[in-house]
């Protein structure tokens, strides 16, 4: 006997699509998740900073509010995933040290602290001595530092592995390793399913497009505008022995260039000679307007290492084990598109740009609430309305969610 029709097809199994599918399966929806290479998009490169404070920027208060709401969902999300799978997603509530390399960088950092104060975000300027007490490996030339105690970090690869494990164990979820070729519509224009590259059509009353920067491709011909573009970024993975890894996340400006260094727990090192004390350390990230070219550039790797070791000279001892370029899904206003579109049956979960890990749990909860006709009750989500780029905004049109 063939499987019953799913309630929902999710296209794209990065951290966002996989989180949506898992939350939907927990709500007893029957879910098909389509992706030829789950987790191999931007999720693979991401460092996993959950940093709405350090990421906040002038003119982007709605993004900061959304980020704060997103960060609040992480502890329960990590706990639920651990309960479902026994897997640890590397959530570390360690805070973030934001540093300034020279006097100009310090001026810039102080402007952002003033902004934090205006928006009620938690950050405090530290003396050099206090900064070094928090992070003894900080280089002697670093001019100043700010502590953002509520900016934490998770391991996106571990979280994605846990999501796939949870989906594998969920009786109502199926992961199909195929590319979606096109969305199927009916005579009224409603989206009624997805045809995959093998020619199979997965019919469902609701489809969530969560294909990262490629979201626009699938929506050609539909009356919805999804202006998502690739913004390439490169991260490096180091294997750091005892004494070479910082204790906590260190971000910084080095002569105007942003850089970050994210240590994982002991035991996460890789490669020959690694020991239980070794840690993975992620250094990132470049930002290049351009296509998803997966070759690291010499200039990108050089600049990241130069700036990271300006803040933390001890990194010289670490082994360089991986360079990972991937494209972020950027949007014109740096905010994601989350929820129903106004095209019946079509929901979006894309455009998360630099914050898709931070926002994955909130996005999943919001999309599933939309599917079930519930109010997600998060005011900050208004800025991420999925129909905001569509002329004659369709989001008030009747929307068809998943039927239970
Ligand atoms: C260098 C770098 C560092 C980053 N650091 C952070 C960070 O510290 N914190 C943070 O919060 N965010 C970070 N981000 C951003 C974050 O990685 C993204 O916002 C997030 O991964 C987006 O998740 P996603 O699931 O939407 O997209 P992706 O992870 O790109 O997944 C999209 C998936 O869709 C699939 N797909 C595409 N087309 C189709 C199709 N037609 N059919 C089926 N499947 C398809 C792809 O195979 C892929 O698996 C970083 C990104 C980069 C590049």
Q: Convert the pLDDT of each residue in 51-70 to its tens digit.
A: 999 999 999 999 999 999 99
Domain count, the chain: 2
Choosing from 304, 327, 350, the residue where a domain stops is 327
Q: How far apart are CA 203 and CA 193, in angstroms?
A: 4
Same domain, 188 and 304: no
Query: Which of 327, 344, 377 is the last residue in one of the domains?
Result: 327
Do 336 and 374 belong together in one domain?
yes
87 shares its domain with 102: no
**200/168 same-domain check:** yes
Coil, helix or strand at residue 128:
helix
Does the C-beta of 284 come closer than 6 Å to ligand 1?
yes
Determine the residue of 74, 164, 212, 213 to mutate for testing ligand 1's pocket, defined as the one with the most ligand atoms within 8 A of the Cβ atom: 212
In a mutational test of the pocket of ligand 1, which residue from 356, 361, 386 has the highest number of ligand atoms less than 8 Å from its CB?
356
Protein residue with least CA distance to atom 20, ligand 1: 356
Q: Answer whether 285 contacts ligand 1 (Cβ < 6 A).
A: yes
Q: Is the pLDDT of residue 80 over 80?
A: yes
Angle, alpha carbons 109-229-89 (nearest 5°): 65
Indicate if ligand 1 lies below 6 Å from the C-beta of 179: yes
**Interior CA angle at 143 toward 140 and 145, to 5°?**
105
Predicted TM-score of the model (pTM): 0.96
Pocket test for ligand 1, best of 151, 211, 215 (most atoms within 8 A of CB): 211
CATH number of the domain that 24 lies in?
A: 3.50.50.60
- Residue 2 predicted with pLDDT over 90: no
pLDDT higher than threshold 50 for residue 211: yes
Domain residues for 9?
1-93+151-228+331-404
Residues 319 and 357 occupy one common structural domain: no
pLDDT of 270: 87
Specify which residues 98 forms β-bridges with.
146, 251
Q: Confirm or reject: Cβ of 38 under 6 Å from ligand 1.
A: yes
CA 42 to ligand 1 centroid distance, Å = 3
Q: How far is CA 145 from CA 109, 170, 228, 231, 274, in A?
A: 8, 45, 34, 28, 31
Asked if residue 140 and residue 54 are part of one domain, the reply reads no
- Shared domain check, 347 and 211: yes
Query: If you take atom 2 of ligand 1, which residue's CA is the nearest one?
Result: 46
How many Å apart are CA 274 and CA 318, to the nearest integer?
11
What is the CA(120)–ligand 1 centre distance, in A? 30
> Do residues 301 and 160 both lie within one domain?
no
Q: What CATH number is attached to the domain comprising 250? A: 3.30.9.10
Instruction: Judge if the beta carbon of residue 361 lies within 6 A of ligand 1.
Output: no
Neighbours of 28 (CB within 10 A): 11
In the predicted structure, residue 393 carries a pLDDT above the cut 80: no
pLDDT tens sequence across 345-356:
999 999 999 999
Q: How many CB atoms lie within 10 A of CB 149?
A: 14
Per-residue pLDDT at 116 exceeds 60: yes
Task: Assess whether 234 and 116 both reside in one domain.
Answer: yes
Q: Quick check: 402 pLDDT over 70?
A: no
For residues 244 and 382, state if they share a domain.
Answer: no
The token pair at 332 is 């014109």
Domain end marker among 327, 353, 384: 327
Write down the pLDDT at residue 242. Answer: 87
Mean pLDDT of 94-116: 96
Which atom of ligand 1 approaches the CA of 353 most closely? 19
């Amino acid at each position: 006997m063939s499987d019953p029709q799913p309630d929902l097809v999710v296209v794209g199994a990065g951290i966002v699509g996989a989180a949506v599918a898992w939350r939907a399966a927990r709500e007893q929806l029957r879910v098909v998740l389509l992706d030829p290479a789950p987790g191999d998009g931007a999720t693979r490169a991401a460092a996993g900073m959950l940093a709405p404070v350090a990421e906040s920027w002038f003119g982007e208060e709605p993004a900061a509010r959304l980020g704060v709401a997103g960060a609040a969902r992480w502890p329960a999300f990590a706990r639920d995933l651990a309960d479902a799978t026994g897997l640890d997603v590397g959530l570390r509530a360690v805070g973030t040290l934001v540093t300034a390399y020279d006097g100009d960088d310090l001026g810039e950092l102080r402007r952002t602290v003033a902004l934090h104060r205006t928006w009620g975000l938690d950050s405090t300027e530290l003396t050099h001595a206090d900064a070094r007490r928090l992070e003894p490996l900080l280089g002697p030339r670093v001019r100043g530092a700010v502590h953002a105690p509520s900016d934490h970090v998770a391991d996106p690869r571990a979280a994605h592995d846990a999501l796939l494990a949870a989906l594998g164990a969920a009786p109502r979820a199926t992961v199909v390793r195929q590319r979606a070729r096109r969305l199927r519509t009916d005579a009224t224009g409603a989206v009624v399913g997805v045809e995959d590259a093998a020619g199979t059509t997965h019919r469902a009353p609701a489809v969530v497009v969560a294909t990262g920067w490629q979201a626009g491709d699938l929506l050609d011909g539909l009356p919805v505008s999804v202006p998502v573009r690739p913004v390439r970024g490169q991260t490096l993975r180091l294997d750091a022995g005892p004494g070479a890894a910082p204790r906590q996340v260190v971000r910084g400006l080095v002569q105007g260039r942003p850089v970050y260094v994210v240590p994982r727990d002991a035991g996460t090192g890789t490669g020959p000679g690694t020991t239980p004390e070794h840690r993975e350390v992620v250094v990132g990230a470049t930002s290049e307007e351009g296509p998803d070219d997966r070759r690291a550039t010499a200039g990108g790797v050089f600049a990241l290492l130069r700036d990271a070791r300006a803040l933390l000279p001890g990194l010289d001892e670490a082994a360089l084990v991986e360079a990972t370029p991937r494209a972020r899904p950027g949007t014109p206003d740096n905010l994601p598109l989350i929820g129903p579109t106004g095209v019946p049956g079509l929901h979006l979960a894309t455009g998360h740009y630099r914050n898709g890990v931070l926002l994955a749990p909130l996005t999943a909860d919001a999309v599933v609430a939309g599917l079930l006709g519930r109010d997600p009750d998060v005011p900050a989500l208004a800025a991420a309305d999925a129909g905001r780029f569509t002329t004659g905004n369709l989001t008030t049109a009747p929307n068809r969610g998943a039927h239970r």
